[in-house]
């Protein structure tokens, strides 16, 4: 079986930029990097927002005994999210 390299956010942003250009029959010549960064940031924001929404839903539906643990996990997730965003921004 062939090993397929997973796509990075950057790869996905570049593909999206190309698809948009093709659909609109336009060129972003000279602005490719800005468009790619905007798409990349939108993907990051959407992922973080959905993660937060899912955490809130899970927290609201858990047992009283588990709420303490859920709160601790949520705090850990927030710390990891901050580190992730920092690392992703430094990769640009």
How many alpha carbons lie under 13 Å from residue 29 in its C-beta half-sphere? Answer: 3
**Would you kindly state where each structural domain of the chain is located, as residue ranges?**
9-90
The conformation of residue 62, written as its DSSP 8-state character, comes to S
Tens digit of pLDDT for each residue in 29-67? 778 888 888 999 999 899 989 988 988 887 777 777 777
In whole angstroms, give the CA distance from residue 3 to residue 31. 33
pLDDT confidence of residue 1? 54
**Mean pLDDT computed over 58-87:** 82
| pTM strictly above 0.85 | no
Contact indicator for 51, 77 with CB cutoff of 8 Å: yes
pLDDT confidence of residue 50? 92
Tens digit of pLDDT for each residue in 16-33? 988 988 888 887 677 888
Contact indicator for 26, 45 with CB cutoff of 8 Å: no
């Amino acid at each position: 079986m062939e090993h397929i390299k997973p796509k990075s956010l950057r790869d996905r942003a570049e593909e999206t930029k190309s698809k948009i250009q093709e659909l609109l029959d336009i060129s972003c010549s000279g602005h490719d990097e800005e468009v790619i960064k905007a798409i990349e940031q939108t993907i990051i924001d959407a992922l973080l927002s959905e993660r937060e929404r899912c955490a809130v839903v899970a927290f609201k539906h858990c047992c009283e005994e588990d709420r303490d643990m859920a709160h601790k996990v949520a705090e850990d997730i927030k710390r990891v999210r901050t580190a992730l965003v920092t690392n992703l921004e430094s990769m640009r």
